[in-house]
Structure 1
Amino acid sequence: MDIQGWTFLIVGFSFAIYLGIAYWSRAASTGDFYIAGGKVSPLANGMATAADWMSAASFISMAGLISFMGRDGSVYLMGWTGGYVLLALLLAPYLRKFGKFTVPDFVGDRYYSRTARLVAVVCAVFISFTYVAGQMRGVGIVFSRFLEVEITTGVIIGMVIVFFYAVLGGMKGITYTQVAQYCVLIFAYLVPAIFISMLMTGNIIPQIGFGGTLADGSGTYLLDRLDGLSTEMGFDPYTDGSKSTIDVFFITAALMVGTAGLPHVIVRFFTVPKVKDARISAGYALLFIAILYTTAPAVAAFARANLLETVDNAPYAEVPEWFTTWEETGLIEYNDLDGDGNVNYTPDESTNELVIDPDIMVLANPEIAQLPNWVIGLVAAGGLAAALSTAAGLLLVISTSVARDLIRRTFVPDITQQRELLFARTAAGGAVIIAGYFGVNPPGFVAQTVAFAFGLAAASFFPAILLGIFSRRMNKEGAISGMIAGIVFTAAYIIYFAFMFPELNNEDNWLFGISPEGIGTLGMVINLVIAVVVSRFTKAPPVEIRELVETIRVPRDLEKGSETGDG
């Protein structure tokens, strides 16, 4: 069977499973729609959280970025993994103990303010749409290559699938669908990595193969070979970094702290019955995430080595079939500038004849390594699972922010549960349409777009949540001022350099040498400083709020009634 046949078979089978689970676990109440009734087991929630967390950026883009950035790409590994540890230990148990459905719900009640709730809703929607753009783009890329359709058509197909199980099932449907999606994506990521590790290094474990010697008997280490290939073609050694230390620090910190402020991940800890279960599920999720994240550097090195050996001044007429196939998607572009018919791949833009989108490296890797067609189809299914799982979580955040935080908790407090559920589903449907537009017209490649979302989350939500849990003195004036200042500064910086004046987007023009991907860290500092200063010069929170802050930090579960998360 050819690649397309295997892809149709495996992707179609996985989609049938997702839709079947969504129908079986469809939401019957707002509790089911928002937090799956608060009855998800820690193991299932750990797998769902891992799938929700490991988006198209993790599956498709992260290894691609490391392939092209070398050591500099480690900022994504350190930032995203470290951020999850920060979230699991510092915030998740306390937020679960507070017993609210959403992050704006927490902000609104903790800061006893409708304005604070509205600011949090705006931040949540803005962050979620920025993030979901990358997921829908990933869906389009996978469909465009493996099902041989236009990226726009691929995005529309993904919209239909997400619409079905997000709108019908809500958090309950999404949770159990994500359990299946985790199984698909992790299997799809590991199988080709194991195959290629055995072919290149003789090691069945990719993490060992990454630091091992080549299987050709030369005794050359894989990374030494990769350094040699890179320098021969004029690139910096793969194991060297080109980013400044300050930018590496700020990007890593923005990704780390942004992780702890992402609303679609935080809400997952409201789906378990008890605070203890939130801690356990966080541990499971970290284990499930680590399986992929420790494999990614090996996948990146394998893909980069195979690619360089393929295009090392090779005659264009003799390039492998995978090269010309990916050219049809527009994600590889070859321009014969010197007319010699050879592929000249160099870091010098004036002589470089090959442009490669980093997002294809994981997807094309099995083809480059000439693995069986069924493995290529499996990788396509894994990429779709990663993108769709996160997209669904983000769309749910948007719908709950609109239905619960805007309509029920702000404008129509006496709304019935049935009408609230209708509004939530309508909002989810509208969000799917907008997300599809961003998938067709993305603001950047997948991981870059996601990095922007993390910076926005770091600059807005993290300080408000952290101070809301650990500072009795933090009041509504401080939180509102800090969130507005942080997200406006960060968004303005990103828009200025990444979209308005991309020609100025270089280290010479950046503030303190900090790139747009890392500016969220500075936005977080601005948020913290303004929040603390303003709170010191304004009225202290009410007594009951200060007592509430003390209560949620007590290391035991609240009374039984609060565990329902009814808010």
Structure 2
Amino acid sequence: MSQFTINLLFVGASFALYFGIAIWARAGSTKEFYVAGGGVPPVMNGMATAADWMSAASFISMAGLIAATGYYGSSFLMGWTGGYVLLAMLLAPYLRKFGKFTVPEFIGDRFYSKTARMVAVACLIVASVTYVIGQMAGAGIAFSRFLEVDKDTGLIIASIVVFFYAVLGGMKGITYTQVAQYCVLIVAYTIPAVFISLELTGNPLPAFGLFGDHAGSGMTLLGKLDQVVTDLGFTAHTADIDNKLNMVLFTLTLMIGTAGLPHVIIRFFTVPKVADARWSAGWALVFIALLYTTAPAVAAMARLNIYTTIYPTGDYTQPISHAERPEWMKNWEVTGLLKYEDKNGDGLIQTYNDKSEAGKALAEQNGWKGNEFTYNRDILVLANPEIAQLPGWVIGLIAAGGLAAALSTAAGLLLAISSSIAHDLVKGSINPDLSDKGELMVARITMAVSIVVATYLGMNPPGFAAQVVALAFGIAAASIFPALMYGIFSKKVNDKGAVFGMLAGLIVTLVYIFMYKGWFFIPGTANLPDNAANWIMGINPLSFGAIGALVNFAVAFGVSSVTEETPQEIQDLVESVRYPKGAGDAVAH
């Protein structure tokens, strides 16, 4: 049986499962469409939340990021998992106590302002749309390799699958589908990692194998990797970083961005009781940890496997020839995500850091004319089983897992967008008398339109698509998180403070990011070189969400201090939300 047939069987079986669940869990009311009827058990909700969170960025990209950045990549692990601690302790139970359907609805009622609700809708849409581009692109990458179609065709297939179970089932269908998708993606991620860990270290647990001994070299695995990459002119995988401020700010941005992402927050509106919201966050951390403790090992082992494949004898003067390259390289060259350029004309593959002093010395010693081998770091996880020459069924499993990760998060994001437009914009402002049946129809139409837009953006990504995940976190951190924190824990912040705070945090963050990426014209600053020498106080644009959040906090507090006091009934509402004794009984009158 060919590898293509195996891939098709695994992917087809997983899609059949998702379709079956969508038909079984079809939403029949707005409550089922928005919050799955409010009756999802905590363990199941934790599993669905983990799938919703562990997107293409986690499944496909994170190991590649850690492989490329080494120690600095731990920011992703600490930031994303730390965000769930914030959710569990500071947000989830209180938002569930409030008993509403969406984040903008909470902000609108708490700050007694339709304007605040609309600003929250705008922030949610900007964050969610930027995030969903990355998910659709991830689905395209997975399809292009494993189903042997071009990226655009892969996007269309992914869109049809999401359309079917998301539009039909809403949150109810998405929840149960995401439980199945979590099972698929976690098995797909860990089985190859176990095989490779056994092969390289003899330890079946990748997290322990990462710190174990490398088979055959007498060194630790990380020591062996550091030796190989430094010999080739790269920075050691375990090397410390100079700019600790950026690392702290980036980690903080990811943490509060996680706690402010609407598609994650709405998962805690789906459980029966307030206590279940906290338990859901706890279970989500357990399920996420299974992948996140494995990712650093996958990153290190995959990177080491690539270099030892090219230099099998360990002698850097004797790389393999392009004609004798392994099958996995041939497969990925077809996708355009892996490239070879014979700069020497000798037919051999030389790969090294030709921009470093060590790399230049190596090139001069061996007569090399420049690095000849490049690959998209997003392929590491997907190519890992092929690199390690694992059985064909493992490759098919990783194909299904990568698609499950991308589709599960895409569905959650699209639901957050459609529910905000249908419930907060149409029902909340344009037509308050809209019936439940009419609102459900609007929600489904909005979901369908959102899928079409997301597919188009996936095919024609804007210039910032490569940074889309970090940008989405920065927006959520700078705009939504402070409003939620003030809404729950402060009686003094009023409607005007919330509106001006969200706008200030959003604008200052977007402007700072845009002026270094060349996406937005600011006289005298447009197209500034995106490097540390030009950043204000050395702050990376992708770390600026935490600064934007501080601006939001400060502006909201300052404006509230010089304007009228929050009405007494809203102060009473905040007081009732702070004591989560039951769900849905803290409603403004």
Shared fold by TM > 0.5? yes
Write the deviation string for residues 98-137 of structure 1: whole angstroms up to 9, x where unpaired.
Answer: 1111110111101100100100000111100011011000
Shift of 1:443: 4.4
TM-score, normalised to structure 2, is 0.93
How many Å separate the matches in 1 of 2:588 and 2:188? 38
Q: Percent identity, aligned pairs only?
A: 58
Kept in 1, the 8 Å contact 2:162–2:407? The answer is: yes
- Residue 585 of structure 2 is aligned to residue 562 of structure 1: yes
Equivalent residues in 2 for 1:427-442, closer than 5 Å: 427-442=446-461
Checking the alignment, whether the CA contact within 8 Å between 2:97 and 2:580 is kept in structure 1 is no
**Residue equivalent to 1:164:** 164
Alignment partners' CA distance in 2, 1:260 and 1:444: 26
- After superposition, the Cα gap between the structure-2 partners of 1:452 and 1:168, relative to the gap in structure 1 and judged at 3 Å, is same
Residues 415 and 534 of structure 1: CA distance in aligned 2, closer, same or farther (over 3 Å): same
For residues 203 and 297 of structure 1, the distance between their equivalents in structure 2, rounded to whole angstroms, comes to 15
- Over 3 Å counting, the alpha-carbon distance change for 1:566 and 1:372 in structure 2 is farther
Give the whole-Å Cα distance in 1 for the aligned partners of 2:528 and 2:547.
Answer: 22
CA contact (8 A) 1:247 1:513 kept: yes
Paired with 1:233 and 1:242, the residues of 2 have a C-alpha distance of 19
2:250 is aligned with 1:251? yes
- Cα distance in 1, alignment partners of residues 299 and 337 from structure 2: 18
Matches within 5 A, 1:270-285: 270-285=269-284
Q: CA deviation at 1:332?
A: 1.2
Residue 243 and residue 382 in structure 1: after superposition, are their counterparts in 2 closer, same or farther (change >3 A)? farther
Separation in 2 of the partners of 1:205 and 1:446?
A: 35
Q: Map 1:355-370 to 2 at 5 A.
A: 355-370=374-389
- 1:329 lines up with 2:338 in the alignment: no
> Are the aligned partners of 1:359 and 1:445 in contact in 2 as well (CA < 8 Å)?
no
Q: 1:356 Cα shift?
A: 1.5
Distance 1:355 1:534 in 2: 52
**Contact 1:57 1:447 survives alignment (8 Å):** no
**More divergent stretch after superposition (380-389 vs 437-446):** 437-446
Partner of 2:563: 538
Structure 1 residue 385 displacement after superposition: 0.5
Deviation, structure 1 residue 510 = 1.2
User: Deviations for 1:216-270, whole angstroms, at most 9, x for unmatched residues?
Assistant: 2x32110000001101111011111446111111111100110000000000000
- Name the counterpart of 2:224: 225
**1:350-389 matches, cutoff 5 A:** 351-389=370-408
Could you tell me the TM-score, scaled by structure 1's length? 0.97
Q: How many Å separate the matches in 1 of 2:353 and 2:499?
A: 46
CA distance in structure 1 between the partners assigned to 2:25 and 2:60 by the alignment: 29
Deviations 1:361-390 (A, max 9, x none): 100011001001110110010010011000
Within 2, Cα distance between the matches of 1:438 and 1:519? 25
Which residue pairs with 2:433 in the alignment? 414
> Aligned-pair distance for 1:522?
0.9
For 2:485, the equivalent position in structure 1 comes to 466
Name the CA distance, whole Å, in 1 between partners of 2:556 and 2:467.
29
Q: Contact between 2:130 and 2:465, CA under 8 Å: does it hold in 1?
A: no
Identify which range, 14-23 or 305-314, moves more after superposition: 305-314
CA shift at 1:43, angstroms?
A: 1.2
Q: Secondary structure at the match of 1:175?
A: helix
Is 1:404 aligned with 2:423? yes
Q: Structure 2: how far apart are the matches of 1:502 and 1:346? A: 30
The answer as to 2:525 corresponding to 1:506 is no
| Superposition deviation, residue 473 in structure 1 | 0.1
| Cα distance change, pair 96–81 in 1 and its aligned pair in 2 (3 A) | same
Report the equivalent of 2:196.
Answer: 196
Which shows bigger deviation, 495-504 or 404-413? 495-504
C-alpha distance in 2, partners of 1:311/1:115?
A: 59
Structure-1 residue corresponding to 2:301: 302
Unaligned runs of 5+ in 2: 312-318, 356-368, 520-525
Quick one: which amino acid aligns to residue 180 of structure 1? A
Distance 1:115 1:340 in 2: 66
Shift of 1:72: 0.9
* Equivalence for 1:449: 468
Hey, what's the Cα distance between the residues in 1 that align with 2:384 and 2:40? 36
- In 2 relative to 1, CA 494–9 (structure 1 residues): closer, same or farther, beyond 3 Å? same
Structure 1 counterpart of 2:347, one-letter code: G
Task: State the SS of the aligned residue for 1:472.
Answer: coil
State how far apart, in whole Å, the 2-side matches of 1:546 and 1:34 are. Answer: 28
- Identify the match of residue 317 of structure 1 among 323, 331, 337: 323
Query: How much has 1:343 moved relative to structure 2?
Result: 2.0
Tell me the CA shift for residue 555 of structure 1. Answer: 4.2
1:430-471 deviation line (CA, Å, top 9, x unaligned): 100111122223347987321111111000000000011000
Q: What is the CA–CA distance in structure 2 between the aligned matches of 1:261 and 1:200, rounded to whole Å?
A: 40
2:150 counterpart of 1:150: yes
Q: Residue 112 of structure 1: SS of its match in structure 2?
A: coil
2:43 is aligned to 43
Deviations 1:501-526 (A, max 9, x none): 67711111112111122111111111
Aligned twin of 1:108: 108
- What is the aligned partner in structure 1 of residue 359 from structure 2? none
Asked if the contact 2:109–2:588 (Cα under 8 Å) also holds between the matched residues in 1, the reply is no
1:275-316: per-residue Cα shift (whole Å, max 9, x none)? 011111111111001110011101111101001112344322
> Does 2:433 match 1:391?
no
CA RMSD of aligned residues (A): 1.7
Equivalent residue, structure 1, for 2:351: 345
Could you tell me which residue of structure 2 aligns to residue 69 of structure 1?
A: 69
CA distance in 1: counterparts of 2:44 and 2:449, whole angstroms: 29
Give the AA of the match of 1:190.
T
Q: 3-state DSSP class of the match of 2:374? A: strand
CA 243–99 in structure 1, closer or farther in 2 if over 3 Å, else same: farther
Aligned residue in 1 for 2:205 = 205
- 2:542: which partner in 1? 517
SS in 2 for 1:57: helix
Q: Which of structure 1's runs of 4+ aligned residues deviate more than 4 A?
A: 443-447
Paired amino acid for 1:369: A
Alpha-carbon distance in structure 1 between the residues aligned to 2:546 and 2:186: 31
2:140 and 2:151 in contact (8 A); partners too: yes
Q: Secondary structure, in 3 states, of the residue corresponding to 2:339?
A: strand
Between the aligned partners of 1:192 and 1:452, the Cα distance in structure 2 is: 31
| 1:134 to 1:49, Cα distance in 2 relative to 1, 3 A | same
User: d(CA) in 2 for partners of 1:257 and 1:508?
Assistant: 27
Query: What number of residue pairs does the alignment pair up?
Result: 563
Give the match's secondary structure for 1:355: strand
Q: Aligned partner of 2:139: which letter? A: V
What residue number does 2:141 align with? 141
Distance 1:478 1:368 in 2: 55
Aligned partners of 2:508 and 2:310: how far apart in 1? 42
**1:443 and 1:449 in contact (8 A); partners too:** no
Closer, same or farther in 2 for the Cα pair 1:498/1:356, shift >3 Å? farther
1:215 aligns with 2:215: yes
Does structure 2 conserve the Cα–Cα contact (< 8 Å) formed by 1:101 and 1:566?
Answer: no
